Amino acid sequence: MESIFICPKCRAALTISTDHYDCQNCRAQWPISAGVVKLSEKLSYWSLLPQELFQDFLAEAEAKGWREAIVSSNQQQVRELLTFTDSPSRADGSFYLSLTDESRVLDLGPGWGSYTFAISPRVKEIVAADTNNEALRFISLRARQSKISNITPALIEPLDYARLPFADNAFDAVIMNGVLEWVGAYLAQGDPLKIQSACLKETARVLKPGGEIWLGIENRFGLRYFYGAPDDHLLYYAPEKRLAYTTLMPRLLADLVTRQKLGRPYRTYTHSLWGLKRLLNRAGLDRLEFYYPEDDYRALSTRIIPVEAMEAKRQVGSKIKNQLVAGLVKTFDLEPALCDSYFVLGGKTK
C-alpha cells in the first residue's frame, strides 16, 4: 500500500519497512514504536492526566485491558476518562461528513480517541495524529485489544509549526475538534493568528479536492462570556483563577491580563463568527456551513442547527436577560454571532 507519510525533515515520500519508515532522499528513519508511527523529535505533552499518572495507567491498561483499567482505577481522574473514550455519540458530527468505506480520515488532536474509534467502522483508514505520545500509545493499545486494524496513531510536531508529515491530497476528511484554539500556544513567540492561519493552510494541503473538514470551537463572543463565564482554555493553566472576559477583550489587553494574573501570555485565540469565516476562507477552505450546537460542540448528540435558522436565533435570544439588549440583538440580527460555540463544516473545492 502506498504510504501517505512524508519525511518531516526533507518532505520526501517515506517507504515502510518492518518497524520503521525510511526516507530515500535524506536517509532519515522514523520508528514505529508500540504501534505509534513517530514522525517528530519534538517532545510535547498535553492531557487531562499528569504525565506520570498517564504512564501508570498505560501499564494497568496493558495488564487488565483498557476499559477495566479505567473503571477499576482508584484515581478519580482516570475513572472520569470513560466519557472521553467510550461515548460514540460524541462523534455524531461525523455523520455530516461524506464518508464511505473507501474514505481516509485524519483526526488531528484525537485525545483519547473518542472520535477515532467511533468513526473507524465506517471508513477505510483513520490516522490519529497528536503530539502526545502517551495518548497515542493508548489509542494503539485500545485498537490492538479491540482487534481494530484500520487506525494508525502518528506522533507529529506541534501544529504551530504547520508541517504535517502527510502527502498532498492524502485525506478525504479532517477532524479538528477543540484543536484550533490551542494552535499558537506551544510557541512562545509569533502572532497566534498567523500561526493558526498557517496551520489551516497546511491542513487544507493534505485534503483532497472535494475533501471536507469538521471543526469545533468556542465562539470568542459567545453569549455566556458576556455573563462572566471563565475562559475555557485558561482554566487548563490555572483552574482556580477562573479568569473571565478575556475572550471579549482586545487581544493585547487580554495578554496584559494573563501575564499579570497567570504569568503567561495570552495565546489561545478563539474567533468571532466573521473572523472564523475569514480565517477558513484564506486557508482555501470554502463551502462553509456554520451550526449552533444546542449543548456544546463537544457534545453533538444533541441537535445542531444552522446558525442562521430562526430556531437557533430564538434559542440564543431567549438567553439574553435584558429585554432592551435582546431587542437590539434581534433588530440587528446578531444572534448568530452570539452562539456559545460553533460546529463548522468546510470543504476544499480545488
Place of cell 528513519: 29
What pLDDT does residue 54 have?
Answer: 94
Residue 1: pLDDT over 50: no
Task: Kindly state whether residue 10 falls inside one of the protein's structural domains.
Answer: yes
3-state secondary structure of 166: strand
Task: Provide the pairing of β-strand 171-177 with 207-218.
Answer: parallel
Q: Residue 309: what pLDDT?
A: 95
Q: For residue 146, tell me if it sits in a domain.
A: no
Considering the domain boundaries, does residue 19 fall inside one?
A: yes
Give the number of domains in the chain. Answer: 1
Of 160, 266, 267, nearest to 203 by C-alpha is: 160
What gap in Å lies between CA 70 and CA 54, rounded to an integer?
11
CA angle at residue 22 from 17 to 28, to 5 degrees?
145
Provide the percentage of residues in the chain whose pLDDT is more than 70: 98
Tens-place pLDDT, residues 108-163: 999 899 899 999 999 999 999 999 999 999 999 999 999 999 999 999 999 999 99
Copy the grid coordinates of residue 182: 490551542
Residue 281: the pLDDT is 95
Q: Is residue 301 pLDDT above 70, yes or no?
A: no
Q: At what angle do helices 310-318 and 323-331 cross, to 10 degrees?
A: 160
Task: Region of 163 please: left (phi>0), alpha (psi -120 to 50) or beta.
Answer: beta
Q: Is the pLDDT of residue 96 over 80?
A: yes
| Residue 27 domain-assigned (yes or no) | yes
The answer as to whether 22 is a domain residue is yes
Which residue would you say has higher pLDDT here, 295 or 257? Answer: 257
Residue pLDDT, tens place only, 171-209: 999 999 999 999 999 998 999 999 999 999 999 999 999
Q: Could you list the residue range(s) of the whole structural domain that residue 25 is in?
A: 1-33
What pLDDT, on a 0 to 100 scale, did the predictor assign at position 302?
64
Q: What pLDDT sits at residue 27?
A: 96
Q: Determine, yes or no, domain membership for 20.
A: yes
- How far is residue 132's CA from residue 156's CA, in Å, rounded to a whole number? 9
In a domain, 23, yes or no: yes
Residue 291, all three cell numbers: 451550526
The percentage of residues in the chain with a pLDDT greater than 90, rounded to a whole number, is 83
CB neighbours of 218 closer than 8 A, spacing ≥ 6?
181, 232, 247, 270, 297, 340, 341, 342
> Which residues are CB-neighbours of 4 under 8 A, at least 6 positions away?
104, 127, 166, 167, 170, 171
Residue 17: inside a domain: yes
**Residue entry with cell 498535553:** 46
> d(Cα 274, Cα 223) in Å, to the nearest integer?
15
pTM over 0.75: yes
3-state percent helix, strand, coil for the chain, nearest multiple of 5: 35, 20, 40
